[in-house]
A and B are shown apart, each in its own frame.
Chain A
Amino acid sequence: MTAALDYFLMSWLDPHLMFLTAAGTFAGIYIGAIPGLSVTMAVSILISFTFKWDMNSALAVISGIYLGGVYGGSRSAILLNIPGAPSAVATGMDGYPLAKRGEAGAAIGLTTVVSVFGGFIGILALAAAAPLVSELALKFAPRDYLLLAMWGILLVGSLSGDSLAKGIFAGAIGVLIGMVGLDPMTAEPRFTFGTVTLTAGISYIAAMIGFFGVAEVLVQLHELHIKAVRQDVSKILPSFGLIRKYLPLATRTSALGVVVGALPGAGGDIAALMAYDHAKRTVKNPSRPFGQGAYEGLVAPESANNAAVGGAYIPMLTLGIPGDAVTAVIIGAMYIHGLKPGPMLMIETPHLFWFQVGSLALANIFLLIFGLTGIRIFAKIVEAPKPILLPLILVLSAVGAYAINNNPADVYWMLGFGVFGYFLKMYGFQVGPVILGIILGPLMDRSFRQAMISAGEDPVQFAGEFLTSPLSAAILAALVLSMASQSSWWRKLRGKRDMHEPLARELEDSASAGNV
């Protein structure tokens, strides 16, 4: 236990790590806030810059950027009515009306406090649940991993984008990209077209930067000039009474955020929209009607999306299955540092786990400090003109793709994936499932073959085991249920009390606005 505490406090006591966490959080707030920069983009690019660092330093920066970025989007949603990140789409619905009433300062203050509150709930859940989940995970058979990975891709594919089929296609093409190269089990070439260069596979870093960096920049070219509205941001510190009043709601929506974040594939953006929906359905007397500046409309999504961060780390650290697109990228980072996220990670390197929890907690404290200060300069930076910003992102992307292997070919791959991703996005596909597919594809392939071999290569036996093993049956049931709840007949069954339709529409809007 004392050892765990030591590791937990590592980033708190080492000035270097503390500085990195603070810098990451600070940068994250701005990255999240500036429309056109996303956390996924930033983390993808950062991976290749930090691969020479030791793992702790890299994780400290990434934790800060992740937490800061999820929060930062809310500021531009409130001040400019442009969600800086998809997780802030719901925040703008009541945040911007509040700003128009001259309460931008109060809105930002309250948002900051509930974000930090949600963040702590998420971190607590991570600290409490991950050790249990990883013990359970030791009992997982290969077929369970296969199911979990499929569930993750299906979830992210169904909850975002405009159709499940498009999500599945995106996931499958990601799996395909992930399998290019020599088969790790038999060394047979797969999709190499007889070339030598492809036998080593396609760099997933180049793919990530292409899909999340270059493609995003190209989509942003459609909206180069968005006018910002100046807001009054004088009074920021919210009163204690105001916070206490919304604590019960924030607790409920944080719990919701943790659960959604922990589901493989579903992250803060979905958690925020579900929390907003939850608040709308359960709060009887909001401070103002929803959509016209209700404080509840800020509290719910903002506590949920930060709580989802801790939640998303749970499956990532215990199962090696990313909780959302950012954790998919972080898994990529861990691979580069020679770590294998999964149940053995907690057993072999418990220090890494407690360090991660500690740096997230520290980042959350920095979030409170930075969140309540420096708002005046903030507006200026967020208004950075895109004609200047976008070329800079491209330079960073190019160097990021190059730096990982010092291989110029990776830069061309990045551009190719960027252009492909641009067309995918424009035609209503999501790129999140592609990345999940790339990361999870090899795991699924290996799990499938191991499961099939252990079933004596008998397909009937193989299929039967999904039902006879209680654990597999439970995961399968969860998968089928969550998919069925998305289908049209389920919606008809539930009648008008429908939640995912507006949710899907919101996400689609945010996707078409190019903010994903």
Chain B
Amino acid sequence: MSTRRQRLPGELAFTVLLLALSLFMVWQAYEISGFSSITSAGVFPLAATATMVVAMLRILVPALRAPAEPAAAGESRTEHFVRRLVPGALVLFTLATAAYMFALERIGFVASSYAFLVVSMFLLGSRRLGLNLVVSAVALAVIYVVFRTVFEVVLPTGSLLQGVLK
């Protein structure tokens, strides 16, 4: 069925990577308890990981046969991969998310979320800075109140500014 699809840039590498991961996991599954008994802790993991390997081989063959999606004129393979899979906005947004998670523990929910919202809205192309600042503040206020009152969720307070910013 998948022959209809064109192969995206990076698809082969991803497939091979998953195959390698599957093989590694088979070995890990074997390490659990080997073939000591048919009902040991490792048998089902072995079955699952072996299934991963077989399925991955079945995916690799049509992926090899599928025609590669043609790159745009004058575009290198890397540029093609970047455009289709990891465009700049996506990478920056993911990095902003990682930074946000790191900050969440340190400066607390309110400050880190506000910074993240304003920055990522800008990154994604909402260039009206004033609007972003206001929307982020209002949305965050709503989220904060709803979380604390309706859901009674404990929000990270941050280790650095404990008591100053909640």
Contacts and interface: CB of A to CB of B under 8 A. Distances in A.
A165 B94 contact: no
B44 A408 contact: no
**In this complex, which of B44, B59, B117, B120 has the most chain A Cβ atoms within 10 angstroms of its Cβ?**
B44
> Which 10 A-B residue pairs are closest in the complex by CB-CB distance?
A387-B124, A165-B58, A387-B126, A183-B41, A169-B55, A49-B151, A391-B120, A445-B44, A172-B51, A188-B41
B98 interface: yes
Interface stretch (A342-350, A375-383, A449-457): A449-457
Given A183-B41, A415-B94, 20 more contacts: A50-B151, A52-B153, A163-B62, A168-B55, A176-B48, A186-B41, A214-B97, A224-B124, A386-B124, A387-B125, A387-B126, A391-B116, A394-B120, A398-B104, A408-B156, A411-B101, A423-B85, A426-B8, A448-B43, A504-B1
A453 B37 CA distance: 11
Interface of B: 1-2, 4-5, 8, 11, 14-15, 18, 25, 28-29, 32-33, 37-45, 47-49, 51-52, 55-56, 58-59, 62, 85, 87, 89-90, 93-94, 97-98, 100-101, 104-105, 109, 113, 116-117, 120-121, 124-126, 132, 135, 139-140, 143, 147, 151-156
Contacts of A164: 1
Majority-rule SS of A interface residues: helix
Interface string A151-178: 0000000000011111011001101100
A411 B117 contact: no
Contacts of A224: 89, 124-125
A402 interface: yes
A172 B44 contact: no
A371 B111 CA distance: 38
Given A165-B55, A388-B135, A428 B45 contact: no
Nearest to B131: A388
B157 to A, nearest CB: 11
A459 interface: yes
Interface in A37-94: 48-50, 52-53
A370 interface: no
A173 B101 contact: no
B151 A52 contact: yes
B130 to A, nearest CB: 13
Contacts of A426: 8, 85
A62 B43 CA distance: 37
A408 B124 contact: no
Nearest to A385: B126
B48 A179 contact: yes
A399 interface: yes
Contact of B44 (A166, A394, A449): A449
**In this complex, which of A48, A224, A395 has the most chain B Cβ atoms within 10 angstroms of its Cβ?**
A395
Contacts of A504: 1
A399 B74 CA distance: 44
A444 interface: yes
A190 B41 contact: yes
A140 interface: no
Interface string A413-449: 0010001000100111000000000000100110011
Contacts of B104: 398, 402, 408, 411
B48 A392 contact: no
Contacts of A388: 121, 126, 132, 135
Contacts of B56: 165, 169
B129 to A, nearest CB: 12
A169 B140 CA distance: 39
A176 B52 CA distance: 9
Contacts of B100: 394, 398
A415 B99 CA distance: 11
A258 interface: no
A396 B29 CA distance: 35
Contacts of A448: 43-44, 47
Contact of B93 (A168, A169, A221, A399): A221
A390 interface: yes
Contacts of B126: 385, 387-388
A418 B80 CA distance: 22
A483 to B, nearest CB: 14
B143 A395 contact: yes
A386 to B, nearest CB: 7
Interface string A441-485: 100110011001100010100000000000000000000000000
Interface string A475-516: 000000000000010000000000000001000000000000
A191 B97 contact: no
Contacts of B116: 391, 394-395
Given A221-B93, A398-B101, A452-B38, A176 B45 contact: yes
A222 B51 CA distance: 32
Contacts of B93: 218, 221
A406 interface: yes
A441 B55 CA distance: 17
